[in-house]
A and B are shown apart, each in its own frame.
Chain A
Amino acid sequence: NAGVIQTPRHKVTGKGQEATLWCEPISGHSAVFWYRQTIVQGLEFLTYFRNQAPIDDSGMPKERFSAQMPNQSHSTLKIQSTQPQDSAVYLCASSFGTGGAMAEQFFGPGTRLTVL
């Protein structure tokens, strides 16, 4: 079985440009989670969806960041007007069943975003 798929694996953008990151959860998984990881901040929770509905976006920066899950096979994280401080590895994870936040998560390989 394929794991969580994230594309692209690496993305370089110029300051002020938009970046869209894609995540394909494991087939049959009902929840998708987004995280940001940096050396300084560690792993930061951003948002999560269950059955495509947004459940908790408490970690999302209020400006420039948005996430969607238009169907059960993919989710996107969009960053508008990227800034150098947005440079990080963005991780997507999915989980199975109705456990929601209490279910174990399977992480994708991440997208390394570099903003010049």
Chain B
Amino acid sequence: GDSVTQTEGLVTVTEGLPVKLNCTYQTTYLTIAFFWYVQYLNEAPQVLLKSSTDNKRTEHQGFHATLHKSSSSFHLQKSSAQLSDSALYYCAGGDSNNRIFFGDGTQLVVKP
């Protein structure tokens, strides 16, 4: 079945340094969309980025990600992490067969 793998449960980075959160997936469907959701402490998840186009970079709030169907990846990156980026990040996918699949989440901690 469809699945998403987020390899890191916890990522710690120093403020101002780059950060990358990994996301890879398995699906048999070619028509797919992928998302990064961010969940701040005591808040609900909210969408950060979305993509359904192969090899097209999408950006929001300084974060960017590119869906690479050839490598089944949708990694999240930011060139300069901010203290306010500390949160739980979920990579999620949806396919044309109406299946939804979430990764286990990566806790990002940005230290001064």
List residues of chain A with CB under 8 Å of any chain B CB.
33, 42-45, 48, 50, 55-56, 58, 91, 93, 99-110
**Chain A min CB distance to B78 (Å):** 20
**Chain B min CB distance to A1 (Å):** 15
- Give Cα distance in the complex from A58 to B101, angstroms: 11
CB-CB under 8 A for A56 and B44, given A103-B94, A104-B35 = no
List residues of chain B with CB under 8 Å of any chain A CB.
31-33, 35, 37, 43-47, 50, 52, 90, 94-102, 104-105
Give 6 closest A-B pairs by Cβ, nearest first.
A101-B94, A102-B33, A107-B44, A102-B94, A104-B47, A101-B100
Query: CB-nearest residue of chain B relative to A50?
Result: B98
Q: Which residues of A contact B102 (CB under 8 A)?
A: 42-45
Q: Which of B44, B98, B104 contacts A101 (CB 8 A)?
A: B98
**Secondary structure at chain B's binding surface: helix, strand, loop or mixed?**
strand
B104 pairs with A100, CB closer than 8 A: no
A107 pairs with B45, CB closer than 8 A: yes
Q: Which residues of A contact B104 (CB under 8 A)?
A: 42
Query: CB-nearest residue of chain A relative to B46?
Result: A107
- Give Cα distance in the complex from A48 to B55, angstroms: 29
Q: Which of A45, A106, A108, A109 contacts B100 (CB 8 A)?
A: A45
Q: Which residues of A contact B96 (CB under 8 A)?
A: 101-102
B99 pairs with A56, CB closer than 8 A: yes
B46 pairs with A102, CB closer than 8 A: no
CB-CB under 8 A for A102 and B32, given A45-B100, A45-B102 = yes
